[in-house]
Structure 1
Amino acid sequence: MKKLSGIFILLIAASCKVFGQDAPGLYDAGTKPQLVAKQFSFTEGPAVDRYGNIFFTDQPNDKIWKYDTEGKLSIFLDSAGRSNGMYFDKKGNLISCADAKDELWSISPKGKITVLLKDYNGHMFNGPNDVWVRPDGGIYITDPYYQRDYWTRKKPDLDGQKLYYLPKGKHQAIIVDDKFVRPNGIVGTPDGKTLYVADIGDNKTYKYDINKDGSLTNRTLFIAQGSDGMTIDNLGNIYLCGKGVTIVNPQGEKIGHIDIDEPWSANICFGGKNRDILFITASKAVYTLKMNVKGVD
Structure 2
Amino acid sequence: MTNTASSLLGVRFIGSGSAVPDRVLTNHDLAQMVDTNDEWISSRTGIRERHIADGEEDSVASLASKAGQKAIAAAGLTPQDIDLIILSTSTSDDLFGTAGRVQKLLGAERAVAFDLVAACSGFVFGLVTASQYIHTGTYKNVLLIGADVLSRWVDWQDRRTCILFGDGAGAVLLQASSQNKPENNLLGFEMRSDGKGNEFLNINYLGRSTFEPISMNGQEVYRFAVRQVPEVIEKSLHYAQLEVNDLDWLILHQANQRIIDAVVNRFGIDPAKAVSNMGKYGNTSAASIPIALDEWVQSGKIQPNHLIAIAGFGAGLSWGSAVFRWG
Higher helix share: 2
RCO greater where, 1 or 2, for CA within 8 Å and sep 6 or more?
2
Higher strand share: 1
TM over 0.5: no
TM-score range, shorter chain: 0.3 to 0.5
The TM-score normalised by the length of structure 1 is 0.34
Larger Rg: 1
The TM-score normalised by the length of structure 2 is 0.31
